[in-house]
Each structure stands twice: as structure tokens, then as C-alpha cells.
Structure 1
Amino acid sequence: MNNKHSIITKLAFLSVSLMVTSAYAIQGSLPQLKAALHISQTQSEYLVTTPSFAVMIFVVLSPLIQEWFHISDKKIIMTGVTIVGLAGIVPMFVDNYLTILISRLILGAGYGLYNSQAISMISVWYDGSERAQMLGWRAAAEQIGQACTLTIAGLFLSFAGWHGSFAVYFFAFLVLLFFAIRVPDDSKAQDDHVEEDNLAAELTESDSKEITKISPVVYLLVLFAFLLVVDYVGMENRFPGLAVAINGNHYTGSSMFLSLMLIGATLGGICYGAIQKRLGFGTVYLGLGLMALSNFLFGFAGHNFALMVIGLLLIGFPLQLVSPLIFNLLPDLAPANRQPLVTSLCLIGFNFGSFFSPSIAKWTNHLLGQPTSGMGLAAPFPVYGVALLVIALIIFFATRHNAKQAQ
């Protein structure tokens, strides 16, 4: 059996996360797709967003499929990556919009089938600071994967047209081979006791007891995940409109700054393990504080474009401090054989947050009496900042209450 502590095996664990965000790889080819297939802008955008619908469905079905067919995490991850590779390359060979749309739906099913298992398998095999480090690296791998697949698909687009951009999904088969060879089978590990690192003891008193059922804290973490992504995706979506409102209708530099967001998010994922080792549960306060600061800079920047960009670039780093912490808490809040389920629930929270972010931002604008255009696009973010600080206070007083009861 391969040594789980070796750097090569760890890279194999992380490699599958490189493809999770590859649905966005074809964004650069949408104008060519639109022209070639004679479709509307909205129809072309559905080719990017459709996978997320399937992800939300299959992230729920995945642990049920595992239970029904007694499939290990490793095998279902390999199945999901195979589906991503096969469905991803279909548009290379067809010119029919409906066929391509269906292939993108199946692509999302592949993501949903293995996304939660890619996280829960790390929780099964690793513990303590090593688990925290691996979860942080996994979050960074998603950002790196999105940046790399976007770049590679763009290169293919430049010399092979829009059909060629879909060749980026051939990399799924390389990932599949690497993962299959290096990652040990997890069927035994799922029956073993997973050592607790007591991070979740600050939220629940179950640290001294054997974990036999799912803690209610899991459902609070799902809501927490939802709110975090509402904020992050909302800022990402509204920055281009604000950039044009400040710099004029001919401004086209938004994509560069949005790409730089990924660097901040990648750094957050890479640094998460070291920061969590030093601060422990205090990492959540650092993350929420920095996210709130980012929202205030972005929301109160007005026509100061540089200040707005600073707020934009800052938000990715703390997000990747808080989101791995959510997954790092789960092994102490549910038994090992329920890890795929609770991980799936948190992923649903993240996906729903992404999906509903535009609507929640719009509702916030209406509540504040601000237009959903021009500089009014920045209105929701000070509200989000205050909400993050309120959440931090609630967590602080809740953990103090639990600590007093435990004495």
C-alpha cells in the first residue's frame, strides 16, 4: 500500500480537486460558441452554469449511491472523474447545442458524484494538523485548477477553435490514472476510528464521547457555507459592473482583477494549515474579520477604484481560511461512515449560495432602496460585512457558553 504521508500520494489525493472547477474553463470560448451555434448570450452562458445544477443533485445522491452499491470513496471518485473526462470532450465532436448542453449536465453529475468524497476521503485518512493542511491544500488545488484549465482551454481555443477548447478535459484521464495508482483503497479506513483533534469541541460538548450520530452543528455549518459564498460570488459578479461605472463603458480590464482573486484564494488555501495549527479555532475569527474588512473596503470605496480593487483582491484569502475549517470540523461532528453525507450537505450549502447570490444581492438592494445598476451595485456589501461580524460574535459567545457548561 502506498504511504499516505508521502508527498506523491498527497498530490494524488489533491489531483482530483484540480478538475472540480473546470466547468469555467470554457468561458473564453463562449463568443465563438455563440456565433458558431447561432445561439443567444443567455443560452451560451447556460453552458457554464448548467453543471452546477447537476452538482447540487448528485452531491446528495452520491453518498446514497455509495450506500446502495457498497462503493468505496476511491471507486466513486474514479467513476466521477471518468464521467468528467468523457462528458467534457463530447463538444469536441458535435455542433448541436442541445447535445452540448446535455453533455455539460452530465459533466456536472461527474463533479457532484465525487466532490464530497474528495474531501471526506482526506478526513478519513488524515487527522490533526496534517488533515488541516491537506484540506487547505485541497481548497488551493481548486483555485489552481480553475486558473490552469482556463489558461489551457484559452490556448487550445487560439489554435484549434472553440471545439479545441474542450480538449482541456482530456486532463481528467491523466488525473484518473495518477489517482488510481497512488491513492490507497479506503474501504478499511472507513471502518477505523478517526482520531479527533477537538477543534469542534468549541462548538459541541461531544469531544469526550464516541461519535455515533450527526451533530446539529453540521446544519449551522451548512448555513454558514451558504452565506460565505453569497458574499464571495456576489462581489465577483458585481465588480465588472462597478468597474465600468467608475472607469467608463469602454473599460475591459475586469477579467484581470477577477483572475487575481484566484491568487489570493490560492494563498489562503496554502496558508490555512499553518494558520490553523497556530490559531486553532481562532482561525474562524481571523477569516471572518478579514472578509468583513474586504466588504467594507469594497462597499464604501465609492469612485475610488483602487480601494475597491483592494477589497476585491482581499476577499479570496479569508474565504479559503474559513471554508477548509468547515470541512475540518466535520470529522468531529459525525461518525466516519457518515462523512460523505455531511460533506455533501456543506457542499450543497456552498452551491446554493453561489446559485442564489444574485437574487440575495438584488433583494438587499431593494431593502436599502438602492438601484441594481451603476454605483448601487456596491450597496449590499457593507450589509454583508456587518452580518459577518455578527456571525463572529454569535460563534464567540456560543463557544464561551459551551466552555462554561463543560467545566
Structure 2
Amino acid sequence: MSVLALSSMLVSAFSVSSALPLMLEHFKNYPAEQVEVLISTPSFFVLLILLANRPLNRWFNEHQMIVTGLLMMSLAGMLPLFVQEYWLVFLSRMCFGLGIGMINAKAISMISERYEGAERVQMLGFRGSSEVVGSAFLTMLVGQLITISWPYAFAIYGFGLVILLLYLFFVPKQSRELPKALTSEERLSPPLRLQAVKLALFAGWNVCISSCISLRVPLIVTEGGLGTPSSASLVLSLYQLVGILSGLAFAPLLRKYGSRLLALSYLALALSTLGIALSSQLVLLALAALGAGFVNSVLMTAVFHQLAEEMPAPLLNHATAIVLVGCNLGGALSPYVLKGMGFLGEPYSVSFSLFAVSCVGFALLAVMTINRRKSDALG
């Protein structure tokens, strides 16, 4: 439970997105895009840490990385509770992102390094559920806290200190250390690096869509007259909470669909985003969001499972960092993707219709990748 708890705050940067309408009102002297960036800013700085993953692993051990990261996440994450100047809030979000970056790759790769076979598949599924449970719980809590005032939303990051205590008391050091020569010198070969980059592309676009849903659902609900900010928070909580089921269902789905799971997930995500685009009632929007939340988690777990299957153990942490770079690029660029789509049409339905079309394209790309891998295997 303590190992899985490390994943529970990895995507919590967007948990405060329900406070966005109130933040837009507070920072009314700033452009809306600049205020939205406060939500996605951590992704840029997670990215910086992930790009420096290899040297950081030489300088710091797992224990030092995780303890430092959790302290930065908690203390910097809670700063807007006490100060509400725009640039101080931006600085706190920057440091918060650096903290997530310190633990991001470790929280995922340590499972693949410590577990094997069916147990690893099950633990990766549970890890996805843990990520979703944490994010959904924090998002739901934000929905209650913003009724007091928007800065209270950032109090949720105090839970990082609880996770730190769990890690210090209950997570043993790695039982089987990797050979030092391998961890310090061996590098990904060009084919393995290309495969990691492909998986980063699949994961990154999935995260971009997920981030855009988190950014736009509150505005769709409030501006479309479908409900209040609190009801938008409830929709987002359900959107994330359904990922618990996907984490538990991952192992059976993998057994049934195997290598086709990635392509089928993108097709299901296309249907879900199209449903969001066409929703005219809160119930329909919630149902479409539920579908998207389920598929988002299955898709991400499928990517990390495929990564663990194809990468040698000594190189897994480095390959995981590459995929996470793609994930965080997807999250960081989401406001700009939305802005770019805005030039094609202002209604939110246009953006999510375009996401649906793109998901069909990624499904076809996944099928082509499967066929190419089979062809290579046959010589």
C-alpha cells in the first residue's frame, strides 16, 4: 500500500482545476490563458526533471529522490493557501512540478523492478487505480474546499506529508540491486529508444486529452448552464474515480485482447470524446466523462506494461523517464492545444470532435505498429 501510495499524487496538478473559474475571477487582470497555465505549469517542470533523469540517478539514490520530491510537492503545493500573488503562485506551481518529477519515474519503475510476471501486471493495474483514487479523492475534496475560497483548494497537497511518512516507515529498500556497471553505463539501443519514443507518443496524446477534459469540463458545465462549479467538480471526480475499475480490470482485459488493447483503447477514447462534444445535459456529459476516464487509465497502464515487457531491467527506469517526458509534454501543452483548436471554432464541441478524429488516427497507428512487430518476429 505504501508503494502504491507514491502514485496517488502523480497527477494531482490538475486536481485543483475545479477552482479555475474562481481563479479567473480573482486574476481578472491577467489573460485567461495565463491563468490556465497555473494549472498546467507543473507539467513543464516535471519534464525538466525527467530530461535530467539519468544524471540525477547517478547523484541521488531512490530514497533521497523520493523524500526530496515529496517534501517539495507538499510544501510548495500548499503555498497558494497563504499567498495569492500571481507570480508567487506560479513559483509554487513550478516547485511543485519539480517535486513530482523527482518521484515520477521511480514510483512506476520500482514496481517493475520489484515484481515479476502476473504479480507485476496486477501491481501495475493497482498502481493505475492508486493514481486515480488519489486524484479523484483530491478533486472531490477541492470541490468542497472551493466553497470557502479558491486558495483552500491547494490545502490538498498536505497529503504529500502523509505519503512521506508511509514511505519512510513501510517501504523497504530495493531487495535486488541492479549491477552498478549496467545502471551507470549501459544505454538504450536505437531500436529500444525508438520503441520508448513511440510509447511516449501514445501516452502523451492520451494525457493531453485527459488534461483538456480536466480544463474544459468546468467551463462546459458553468458556461453552458449545465450546473455549478461544485457539480463540475463532481463530474471530474467521477471521471477520475472510474479509473479504479479500469485498474482492477486491466489484467483481464490484457488477457483477452493482448497486443490489440492499445488500439482498442484509442477507439473507445474516440467514442468518449465525441460523446463529450455532443453532450447537452449534465448527465450525458458525466457519462461521456466516465467512459473517457475508464479508457484513459487502461491506455496508460497498457503503455507501461508494454514498456516493462520490452525493456531490459537495467534500462527500465531510463525508458520510463522517456515515456513520462511524453506524458508531461502532453499535459504541459494542453492549454496551447486547446487554444490552437480554438482558431478552428470557438465551441467546445469542435475541440472534442477533433480529439475524437485524432484518437481514430492513433488507433490505426497502434494497429500498424502491431503488424510491423509481427512481421519483424517472422523475419
1: CA distance, partners of 2:370 / 2:45? 36
| Secondary structure of residue in 1 paired with 2:78 | helix
Indicate the residue corresponding to 1:312 in structure 2: 289
Indicate the residue corresponding to 2:91 in structure 1: 102
Q: Deviations over 1:150-187 (max 9, x none)?
A: 3334545556x555443322221111111122112127
| Secondary structure of residue in 1 paired with 2:345 | coil
1:128-207 matches, cutoff 5 A: 128-156=117-145, 158=147, 161-162=149-150, 164-186=152-174, 188-191=176-179
Indicate the residue corresponding to 1:207 in structure 2: none
Alpha-carbon distance, 1:389 to partner: 3.2
Q: Does 1:257 align with 2:235?
A: yes
TM-score w.r.t. the length of structure 2 is: 0.82
Find the partner of 1:324 among 295, 301, 304: 301
Indicate the residue corresponding to 1:21 in structure 2: 11
Q: Which runs of 5+ in 1 are unaligned?
A: 1-10, 193-210
Q: Contact 2:139/2:237 (CA < 8 Å) preserved in 1? A: no
Find the partner of 2:2 among 3, 7, 12: 12
Cα distance change on mapping 1:102 and 1:327 into 2, 3 Å: same
Letter in 2 for 1:138: R
1: CA distance, partners of 2:162 / 2:73? 12
| Secondary structure of residue in 1 paired with 2:120 | helix
Find the partner of 1:402 among 360, 376, 379: 376
Find the partner of 2:79 among 90, 93, 110: 90
1: CA distance, partners of 2:285 / 2:79? 40
Cα distance change on mapping 1:254 and 1:333 into 2, 3 Å: same
Letter in 2 for 1:49: S
Cα distance change on mapping 1:157 and 1:376 into 2, 3 Å: closer
Q: Which runs of 5+ in 2 are unaligned?
A: 181-185
Q: Does 1:51 align with 2:42?
A: yes
1: CA distance, partners of 2:341 / 2:26? 38
Q: Does 1:63 align with 2:54?
A: yes
Find the partner of 1:393 among 351, 367, 370: 367
Q: Contact 2:18/2:232 (CA < 8 Å) preserved in 1? A: no
Aligned-residue sequence identity (percent) comes to: 27
Q: Contact 1:134/1:273 (CA < 8 Å) preserved in 2? A: no
Moved more, 396-405 or 126-135: 396-405
2: CA distance, partners of 1:238 / 1:171? 26
Alpha-carbon distance, 1:110 to partner: 0.2
Indicate the residue corresponding to 1:340 in structure 2: 317
2: CA distance, partners of 1:81 / 1:321? 26
2: CA distance, partners of 1:149 / 1:345? 27
Alpha-carbon distance, 1:395 to partner: 2.7
Q: Does 1:280 align with 2:262?
A: no
| Secondary structure of residue in 2 paired with 1:399 | helix
| Secondary structure of residue in 2 paired with 1:186 | coil
Letter in 2 for 1:351: N
User: Number of matched residues?
Assistant: 369
